[in-house]
Structure 1
């Protein structure tokens, strides 16, 4: 027999073993010699007889019934004698379960074949697997692997939840005014665009109220900027309490200016809302020594429209701003509606 033919024989013996083992095929046990000995990498004892190795093999097959995938990395074959050959293989074992540990470790298998009465038998099998010792009844440390997978899943779930909470918090912060705790200009602009598109689809009214603290510069000059901040905080709370209807938004537009978005409200309802806000601000009775009224008041501008493709949200804001400007010019502490 030539060297090449002999090489093919040794390789075919190894390939047959791998195919039967990976396929969980009990016919593999018929390949064991009566003079068998071996060592299983997951255990800590030497197997000295065929019957024990058959039991271990069947235990292995029972523990993992589905087919394995053996990823061969390297192989070495030695022709020791006419009736004795040996094969050493390095490979990864891919189990049919979630497996981020075993499949990355390199296992080593040493097989010793001897020809007995014209048939090649396995007389020694030694597999070295760099795992910790398995538990009773295991060939692979599946219990530990499942526990580790559960730990990893729990960690991933916790980190995913924490990331979602962090993103939600970041979104809230990015849409919240840092001083008053109500919606900021960014949040208002985004919501206005959404409601404008909704109004275009449904043909419903959309109203905006813009309001400004009267003589706020004089308030700051007289009481100080810290008192001015407290005034704006109190005003933000009052506006929020005064307008709690679902879908409506109260926002700080900038400086001492606030804005309310009223989806579905026509000009009559928007005007009623503005009057309710005016009364709520009066009821605060915040002292303002530099004002004719002696308390903090606001000027309000109201604008309403049915959104259309012929106009834009900025036009509605411009109209509310014009109405607010008119309220200031007419003496402040009053409400004006956009007349067109």
Structure 2
């Protein structure tokens, strides 16, 4: 059997298996037993005990078929499929049972069937079967209460209704089915207090159930996670105000562990409603995705940051420049872009090798970063070339140009200070290499989105070459102003 590659494929397969099961049961077909796992448990419709042996369950099934050998008709009322994990699916069905005897009262009652499917060696098997029949007072080992159906009175009907409601409200079976699930299953009341949490939470976060139940769900998250959850709550309120009656939210948030660790969880949440449509609580599943988040962060680091200096690379610089230009358009404030190129980097590489050259580049990155604001961007463009992006200067072009050149002069001065590069050596003392370096810097301004990011980079690059042509170790601005403004 081919394992489904998506949730929708898996749901269609499980639905087909469920339909096949119902058809065999309704037709009193002995082949039904082949659907059961060797590791099986079940609650019988007419019994109060849990069957833990597959052979015993086969005997109960055959007893069922012997008691009512004629075909039974099922009128399906509701069906839900819930993914417990990739290889475990919970199916819950509500229906009317039409026995081959005239009893309209019994046919109006609601019976419930719960099947737990698990993927075993590429084959989906039923590992738990529980069905409840409203009238549980069977006699003489009956599966269906045929005798009492004929003797039922109003008092018994009230007892059946009470028992059925009690079964719906009970969480005992729910706990049984979820004890071994890897994901955390939970329920909240309308005030977002935890009313139930599965044992998996203790395995994942270390908290016992009695340390969580009765507490606000927000206590499970870090401050950053709380902000995410509150935003989801806001979205839910907006969805209700827009008239949505059913919605399912999926989000990722950081969770607190009892030992102080922080883990990431993918949360699936849906509200519970009463018969009047009012929200009376919430239920959902939380799956730990810490390792997945770590791998995603690694991929992002490789995609957007220079591995040597940890500075943004060209791709991230382009994105931030586009954002800065859009911000500039809204605020009417100028931004500036600097293109930096070290003047005598190659001789250092040639004399001492790339290891020493890398040490210099890392120190250059640190010095540039210390010269700008946290909101500014310092990027490594490639080789010994760096780019500095300054946002939100002023609305005056000349004043903005002066500010940008002041920062550029500050950077130039810092990069001209002597370097002491410490080189670690195998089985030898560290070696210190002293080096002096200068830099040529080109500066250009931008306002709004009148030009594209490539044009701004080209202008800064051209200004940098003007600085090189002017004798290096200098700053060249594409904006004309009194240079004495900078020296002051």
TM range (shorter): 0.5 to 0.7
User: Following the alignment from structure 1 to structure 2, what is the Cα–Cα distance between the partners of residues 209 and 189?
Assistant: 13
Q: Offset of 1:145 from its aligned partner?
A: 4.5
CA contact (8 A) 1:179 1:229 kept: yes
Is the contact made by 1:113 and 1:120 (CA closer than 8 Å) also made in structure 2?
no
Q: Is the contact made by 2:309 and 2:365 (CA closer than 8 Å) also made in structure 1?
A: yes
Change (3 A) 1:139 1:200: closer
Contact 1:286/1:296 (8 A) holds in 2: no
Instruction: Give me the whole-angstrom Cα distance separating, in 1, the residues matched to 2:171 and 2:386.
Output: 71
Distance 1:305 1:216, change over 3 A: same
What is the CA–CA distance in structure 1 between the aligned matches of 2:473 and 2:327, rounded to whole Å?
33
Shift of 1:308: 3.6
The CA distance in 1 between the partners of 2:171 and 2:476, in whole Å, is 84
CA root-mean-square deviation: 3.9
Q: Does 1:250 align with 2:366?
A: no
2:117 and 2:128 in contact (8 A); partners too: no
Q: Structure 1 residue 142: deviation in Å? A: 4.2
Counterpart residue number, 1:42:
50
Query: Which segment is superposed worse, 172-181 or 207-216?
Result: 172-181
**Kept in 2: contact 1:43–1:139 (CA 8 A):** no
Structure with max Cα Rg: 1
For residues 82-231 of structure 1, what are the structure 2 equivalents within 5 Å?
Answer: 93=113, 105-107=128-130, 110-114=143-147, 119-120=150-151, 140-145=172-177, 149=185, 150-151=198-199, 157=286, 159-231=288-360
Q: Deviating runs (4+, > 6 A) in structure 1?
A: 73-76
- Give the equivalent residue in structure 1 for 2:436: 295
Task: Give me the whole-angstrom Cα distance separating, in 2, the residues matched to 1:72 and 1:114.
Answer: 21
Query: Is the 1:71–1:93 contact (alpha carbons within 8 Å) kept by the matching residues of 2?
Result: yes
Comparing both chains, which one has the higher relative contact order based on Cα–Cα distances under 8 Å and sequence gaps of 6 or more? 1
State yes or no: 1:305 paired with 2:433. no
Structure 2 match to 1:240: 369
- Tell me the SS of whatever aligns to 2:364: helix
Is the counterpart of residue 282 in structure 1 residue 416 in structure 2?
Answer: yes
Distance in 1 between the 2:171 and 2:145 partners?
Answer: 21
Instruction: Measure, in 1, the Cα distance between the counterparts of 2:390 and 2:384.
Output: 20
Q: Is the 8 A contact 1:42 1:140 kept in 2?
A: no
Q: Please list every run of 5 or more consecutive structure 2 residues that lacks an aligned counterpart in the other structure.
A: 1-45, 53-77, 80-91, 103-110, 119-125, 134-142, 154-169, 186-197, 205-264, 267-285, 394-399, 422-434, 481-488
Q: Deviations over 1:245-267 (max 9, x none)?
A: 13100110111100000002311
For normalisation by structure 2, the TM-score amounts to: 0.43
Residues 252 and 258 in structure 1, CA contact (< 8 A), matched pair in contact too: yes
Distance 1:197 1:276, change over 3 A: same
The one-character-per-residue Cα deviations of 1:152-194 (angstroms, maximum 9, x if unpaired) are 5767545245434443443233221101111111111110011
Cα distance between partner residues in 2 of 1:237 and 1:285: 12
Query: Could you tell me which of 468, 471, 478 is aligned with 1:338?
Result: 478
Mark the runs of 5 or more structure 1 residues left unpaired by the alignment: 1-37, 45-66, 80-90, 123-137, 288-293
